[in-house]
Amino acid sequence: MLNPEGLKVAGYVDVAKRIIDLALFGAAQNRSYRRLADFTDTIGNRVSGSKNLEKAINYMYDAMRQDGLDVHLEPVKIPHWVRGEESAEMIEPRPKHLAMLGLGSSVGTPPEGITAEVLVVQSFEELKRRAGEAAGKIVVFNQPFVSYSETVAYRAFGASEAAKVGALATLIRSITPFSINSPHTGWQDYQNGVKQIPTACITVEDAELMARMAQRGQRIVVRLTMGAKTLPDADSFNTVAEIKGWQHPEQVVLLSGHLDSWDVGQGAMDDGGGAMISWEALSLIKDLRLRPRRTLRVVLWTAEEQGGVGAQQYYNLHKVNVSNFDLVMESDLGTFTPLALQFTGSDAARMVMEEVVKLLAPINVTRLESHGEGTDISPWMETGVPGASLHVADDRYFWFHHTEGDTMTVQDPREMDLCSALWAVVAYVVADLQEMLPR
Q: Is 96 in a helix, a strand, or coil?
A: strand
Residue pair 304/271 in contact (Cβ under 8 Å)? The answer is yes
Listed residue (342, 324, 435) closest to 384, CA to CA = 324
- Say how many C-beta atoms besides its own lie within 10 A of residue 399's C-beta: 18
Q: Residue 99: which region, alpha, beta or left (left: phi > 0; alpha: psi -120 to 50)?
A: beta
Q: Within a 10 A sphere around the Cβ of 335, how many other Cβ atoms?
A: 34
- Neighbour count for residue 217 (Cβ, 10 Å): 6
Closest to 314 (Cα-Cα) out of 256, 273, 230: 256
User: Whole-angstrom Cα distance, residue 243 to residue 236?
Assistant: 23
Can you tell me the distance from the alpha carbon of 354 to that of 343, in angstroms, rounded to the nearest whole number? 10
Name the strand (E) or helix (H) holding 311. helix 309-318
User: What number of other Cβ atoms are within 10 A of residue 185's Cβ?
Assistant: 27
Strand partners, 80: 231
Question: What's 230's DSSP letter?
Answer: E
| SS3 sequence of 109-160 | CCCCCEEEEEEEECCHHHHHHCHHHCCCCEEEECCCCCCHHHHHHHHHHHHH
Q: Considering 161, 304, 330, 415, which one is annotated as catalytic? A: 304
Catalytic (active site) residue 304: yes
Q: Are 171 and 88 in contact (CB under 8 A)?
A: yes
- The CA distance from 92 to 267, in Å, is 36
Q: Say how far apart CA 264 and CA 46 lie, in whole Å.
A: 9
Residues that are catalytic: 304
